[in-house]
Homo-oligomer: A and B are copies of this chain.
Amino acid sequence: MRSGTRIQAVMEDIQSRIAARTYLPGTRLPSVRAQAQAMQVSVSTVVEAYERLAAEGVIASRPGSGFYVAGPVAPLALGGIGPRVDREVDPLWLARQSLQADAHALKPGCGWLPPSWLYEEGVRRALRSLARSGTLELTEYATPLGHPALRRLLARRMAAMGLETSPEQILLTESGTHSIDLVCRFLLEPGDTVLIDDPCYFNFHALLKAHRVQAVSVPYTPQGPDVARFADALQAHSPRLYITNSAIHNPTGATLSPLVAHRILKLADSSDLVIVEDDIFCDLETHAAPRLAAFDGLSRVIQIGSFSKTVSASLRCGFIAARPDWTQDLADLKIATNFGGGRMAADIVLRTLTDSGYRRHMESVRLRLAQEMERTAARLQALGMKPWLVPQAGMFLWCQLPGGMDATALARTCLEDGVVLAPGNAFSQSQSAGDFLRFNVAQCSDARIFEVLARALKG
C-alpha cells in the first residue's frame, strides 16, 4: 500500500467513526501510537493523517493532550445549489442556469465555449511554471494597475489592431464584467441614461439595474447599431454612456462596418457620449473588424476585455484601456472597492498567452467554430428556424423561430428535458425578440439537443 493510501485509510477510519457517532464531538482520539498499532501502520502515517484532519477542521489539537473531534459541526446541505426553476426567465436566471448546470447538461444557450475547447494544456504548463517562480509572484499583491508585463503584452496586441495605447493606459481587473462595472461606477449617477443595443448581452441589463440607471436601447442591424435611431436616442435621452460589443456582437454575431463606426463616433463627439466597447471575443475573429477604440484613439471610447472566452473561465482577469487620467482614477476606484488585483491570475494569463502554442490553439478553435457554425445553422434550418445572419466568426447564431413561436415557453419546455436555451427576450430591452433564440454553436455538437428541440417545436 502506498504511503498516500495508508494516510487516506487512517483518515477514513476516523471519519467513519465520527459519521457513525462512535466518536462524538469532544471525544479524544486514540493516541498516535495506539492508532498506529491498531491499524498496523507507522506512527508518521497517523501523524500525517491527524494533521490533515485537523487542517480540514474535522478534529482539533489541544497542546499536550492530543486530538479531539471538533464540533459542533453545522449540518451540510446535501443537494448543492440546484437550479431555481421557479424564477422568471430574466437575465440573472439565464446566467445562473449556465453557471449552475452540471458538466453533463446540454447548454446550447450558454455564452461560452465548452471546457474541452479551452486552452487547458497551456494553463497546465503555466501552473507548473508558476509553481517554480519567485516568492513575490506567489504571495504579494499586484501593483495598482496590475501585472506590468501583461499590460505591455495587451498594449502590443492592441497596437496590432491599430489601437495605439501605452501600458499605463491599461488597468487590469477581475473580469470583463468587473471592467464595465468600474466604468459605470466611475461615470454614472443613479437615474442616468445608458444606451445599449437591442438585442445585447443579457448581463448588461442586470448590470445597469444594479447601478439603478435607465437603459435605452437602439436596434442592432447587421452592420452595427441603427444610426438614425441612435441619433434620435441621443436627442431624446442625452445618455452618458453607450455600451456595446463591436468585434463579434453578442447575441447576433454581427460585425460593425467602418461606415457605421465612423458615424457613431461622430454622433458621440457631438453629444459628449462615452462609449464602452466590450472586446472579449477578439481572439475568435478571423478578419479584424473595425474597433471604435481604434478609430477614436481611446479619447471617448473605453475598451474592455477578458480572457475567459479563450484562455480559461476559471481564471478571473479582465482589463480596461482608457484615457491615461481615467485609468488612474479607475485604479483608485478599484483599490477602494476591491483592493489589490489578482497578480497570480494575471500571471497565469500572461504565461498562457505567450506560450508558443496559444496562436495555434486559437487557429484550431476558429476553424472548429466555423465548422460548427455551418453544421448548426443547417440543423436549425432543417427544424424551420431562420438565422438572422450567418456570422463571419464567433460562437453565436441568432435564430428566429417559425411562425412567431414563443421562445421563452420553448426554453421552459426544453429545460425539463435538460436542455438550457437562451430565449431572445433576455437580450432585448424592448422585448421585441420573443421569437428568437441565441445558439452557441460550440455547445451544439450533441444530436440530443436537436431531438429535444424538434419535440418541443412540435408540441
- The docked-state distance in angstroms from the alpha carbon of A8 to that of B358 is 18
Any chain B CB within 8 A of the CB of A72?
Answer: yes
Q: Shortest Cβ distance from A297 into chain B, in angstroms? A: 11
- Interface stretch (choices A138-146, A218-226, A246-254): A138-146
* Distance A135 CA – B356 CA, assembled complex (angstroms): 20
List, in ascending order, chain B residues with CB within 8 A of A167's CB: 76-77
Residues from chain B with a CB closer than 8 A to the CB of A138 are: 115, 118, 120, 123-124, 127, 312, 314
A73-B159, A145-B81, A316-B341 known; A153 vs B57 contact (CB < 8 Å) = yes
Q: Which one, B92, B148, B156, B356, contacts A48 given CB within 8 A?
A: B356
Partner of A142, one of B99, B137, B343: B99
Contacts of A341 in B (CB 8 A): 316
Interface residue A335 (Cβ < 8 Å from any Cβ of B): yes
Given contact pairs A73-B159, A124-B138, A340 touches B99 in the complex (Cβ within 8 A)? yes
Contacts A338-B178, A338-B181, A356-B51; A135 near B164 (Cβ below 8 A) = no
A190 within 8 A of B: yes
Are A115 and B135 in contact (CB-based, < 8 A)? yes
- B155 A135 Cβ-Cβ under 8 A: no
Report the bound CA distance from A100 to B142 in whole Å.
8
Asked if A417 is at the interface (CB within 8 A of a chain B CB), the reply is: no
Contact A131 B127 (CB under 8 A): yes
Please name all residues of chain B whose beta carbon is closer than 8 Å to the beta carbon of A143 when the two chains form the complex. 80-81, 99-100
> How many of these chains are in the complex?
2
Across the interface, do A60 and B141 meet the contact criterion of CB distance under 8 Å? no
Measured in the bound complex, the distance between the Cα atoms of B52 and A205 in whole Å is 40
In the complex, what distance in Å separates the CA atom of A347 from the CA atom of B123?
14
Contact A343:B314 (CB < 8 A) given known A153-B56, A337-B181: yes
Q: Does A210 lie within 8 Å of B177, measured CB to CB?
A: no
Report how far A96 CA is from B123 CA in the complex, Å.
30
Chain A positions 189 through 226: 1 when the CB is less than 8 Å from some CB of chain B, otherwise 0: 01000000000000100110110000000000000000
* Cβ-neighbour of A344 out of B103, B118, B314 (below 8 A): B314
For window 69-113 of A, CB contacts with B under 8 Å fall at 70-77, 80-81, 91-92, 95-96, 98-100, 103, 112
In angstroms, Cα B155 to Cα A158, docked, is 44
Task: Tell me how far the C-beta of A71 lies from the nearest C-beta in chain B, rounded to whole angstroms.
Answer: 7
Of the 9-residue stretches A168-176, A229-237, A393-401, A439-447, which lies at the interface with chain B? A168-176
> B181 contacts A210, CB within 8 Å?
no
Task: Answer whether residue A355 sits at the interface, using C-beta atoms and an 8 A cutoff.
Answer: yes
A160 within 8 A of partner (CB): yes
Residue-by-residue, is A321-354 near B (CB-CB < 8 Å gives 1, otherwise 0)?
0000000000011011111111111011000011
A-B contact pairs, 19 of them (CB 8 A): A51-B359, A54-B359, A55-B356, A56-B156, A75-B166, A80-B143, A92-B335, A92-B336, A99-B143, A99-B340, A100-B144, A103-B140, A115-B138, A139-B313, A141-B308, A206-B336, A308-B340, A342-B345, A345-B345
User: 5 closest A-B pairs (Cβ-Cβ)?
Assistant: A206-B336, A57-B156, A127-B131, A51-B356, A118-B139
